[in-house]
Chain A
Amino acid sequence: MASRAFFMRQVVPILFGIACLLAVVVAIELLIRLGAINRFIVPYPSEIAGSFKRIIVEEDVPARFLLTTGEALAASLMLTVVGISLGALLHRMHLLRLATETWIAAVASAPLVLMYPLFLVIFGRSALTIIMMGFVSALPPVILKTLEGLSTTRVVLINVGRSFKLTPSQLYWKILFPSALPTIFVGVRLGMIFALINIVGVEFLINFGGLGQLVNELAERYDLPGTYAAICFVILVSVVFFIVTERIERWLRPGT
């Protein structure tokens, strides 16, 4: 009976959701065939599905995928190293933190990605512009979350360390850092997602590089089903990225 209740509560809604999605797709297909929707604005869903294979083969999607992933990884690596270091530095230097934390929070709320024309001038139309834009626009949350994680370590845990006579460096690496790690990764993950969004976005905007450019190019060629299929592909990639980082985050909070 318990498994039946579980089925009713967990599985049925999921199936219903998927069924609705399929129903919408079928309805769109029918509405286009009936002429209620202009097929030069929304292509047949069946046509979109059909062009998946075509764009993957003809538009060199594997290479583009690798390029975008590589850019995202490079930006993420820089984010992790620079962001965590800066956060840890601010945590150590209390005065500097008091002076700059509100500034960083303010910068975090500014639309930094709008600086891409500036980066274009500095770094040229290259992968470097894209990587740097992803890195810079996602840096503030990593710094802030690192700072938050380190400074919200519970006092009693530090007292436990002191009662066992830990040296300052042991206190840092055995207690402060592991205690802050889940929060730090929340920041890193947020930063990685920001970076990926902005990397694909800038690829699209400056028409250079991987998956973002693919969407732009197909749209400019007025390849409607291809554009829709490429968009679906980008969504797929970001969802996979999202789920993987979510798994890592859960793994860092053992037992919960």
Chain B
Amino acid sequence: MAQTGHLTAAPAAPNIWAAMPLKRRVMWLRIALLVGIVAVWEAVAASGLLFRDVVPSLLTVGRSLFDIVTKPDYKVTLGGSEIWIPEFYRHLWVTTGEVATAMTIGGLAGLVIGLLLGTNPFLSGAFERFLYYLGPTPKIIFFPIMIMWFGVGPGSKVAMGTISCFFPVVLSAAAGVRQVESVLIRVGRSFRLNSWQMVTKIYLPAMRPSIINGVRLGLGVAVIGTLLAETKLSNQGVGFLIINSYSTFDMPRMYALLMLLFMVAIGANALVGRASRG
């Protein structure tokens, strides 16, 4: 009886593509796509169909990017000695500080209020609606008010980041509390845990995925809130650099800065995402 007749018949491979393992094919397709995009880009840049400055050759963008991250044009004093570093790092440092402060304030406030709302149906019935509706409003329009309250310096940028990241964190924390399986809460009660222990030993560990998700969303909008504020009114930070390259019409520099910014943002997001798996 030819039991395995179907299974052992080796597929005849007429071409290399069909015989290639899937991973290899994906890799080649990616390379082809990248090459295609670069080729089209360069063709447009060379043709001059659009203004040459709008679509600069990737070579000039690359040169600009290299300058931004390596050309030492800013003096810092470190422990008495003077060192020259690229100025980009100073601006990146400012922006990172603003976003980190915003994440700390907005994230902690969101977490605490989210826990309160999630565990208390009355408070949630009274206030969660407001947060739910305010969440998807454009936060940048609060910027004029934030300038009046916190000045034109980093304060108003931190405030913008804080407002932005508060909403996703508070809403996912509140939802996360309610998703904690009730049997886990009953287990905690049966061991007679006090409120603090309930939060730290039961709620927070059980809510880990939704908290990380909230932080991830919050980080994304905090970066947007802070940087948009920097482009509107500021004299430092990555947002300022971007809008500055616009005012000086330095397109290669703008592309280079946007690429750097996107790489940092995507990397940070991936890092937070990895925390949810680890």
- Mark A residues whose CB is within 8 Å of B: 9-10, 12-14, 16-17, 20-21, 41, 95-96, 98-100, 106-107, 109-111, 113-118, 120-122, 193, 196-198, 200-201, 204-205, 212, 215-216, 219, 224, 227-228, 230-231, 234-235, 238-239, 242-243
Contact = CB atoms under 8 A, between A and B. Distances in A.
B126 A16 contact: yes
A10 B234 CA distance: 46
A70 B265 CA distance: 31
A113 B242 CA distance: 12
Contacts of B30: 99-100
B26 A111 contact: no
Interface of B: 22, 25-26, 29-30, 33, 50, 53-54, 121-127, 129-130, 133-134, 136-145, 148-149, 216, 220, 223-224, 227-228, 231-232, 239, 242-243, 245-246, 249, 251, 254-255, 258, 261-262, 265-266, 269-270
Nearest to B246: A117
18 contacts: A13-B126, A14-B126, A95-B29, A98-B29, A110-B265, A111-B223, A114-B224, A117-B246, A121-B54, A197-B138, A198-B138, A205-B140, A227-B144, A230-B141, A231-B141, A235-B137, A239-B137, A242-B136
A120 B249 CA distance: 11
B238 to A, nearest CB: 9
A111 B221 CA distance: 8
B251 to A, nearest CB: 7
A59 B40 CA distance: 45
Contacts of A99: 26, 29-30, 33
Contacts of B148: 41, 224
Contacts, number: 146
B100 to A, nearest CB: 16
Which of A10, A212, A215, A224 lies at the interface centre, i.e. has the most chain B CB atoms within 10 A of its CB? A215
Given A111-B223, A200-B140, A238-B138, 7 more contacts: A9-B125, A17-B130, A109-B266, A111-B262, A115-B258, A121-B251, A235-B134
A252 B136 CA distance: 21
Contacts of A120: 246
A111 B265 contact: yes
Which of B29, B53, B126, B261 lies at the interface centre, i.e. has the most chain A CB atoms within 10 A of its CB? B126
Which 4 pairs of residues, A with B, have the shortest CB-CB distance?
Answer: A13-B125, A219-B144, A17-B126, A117-B246
Contact of A110 (B124, B243, B266): B266
A205 B138 contact: no
B247 to A, nearest CB: 9
Which of A99, A230, A243 lies at the interface centre, i.e. has the most chain B CB atoms within 10 A of its CB? A99
Contact of A114 (B123, B139, B141, B242): B242
Given A110-B266, A111-B224, A41 B126 contact: no
Nearest to A193: B136
A135 to B, nearest CB: 16
A95 B32 CA distance: 13
A117 B22 contact: no
A109 B224 contact: no
Contact of B25 (A95, A109, A115): A95
B125 A114 contact: no
Contacts of A41: 148-149
A111 B230 CA distance: 14
A116 B261 CA distance: 14
A99 B37 CA distance: 14
B174 to A, nearest CB: 14
Contacts of A239: 133-134, 137
A121 B29 CA distance: 32
Given A111-B220, A113-B228, A196 B33 contact: no
Contact of B129 (A17, A196, A198): A17
A110 B255 CA distance: 14
Contacts of B127: 17, 20
Given A99-B26, A117-B243, A205 B231 contact: yes
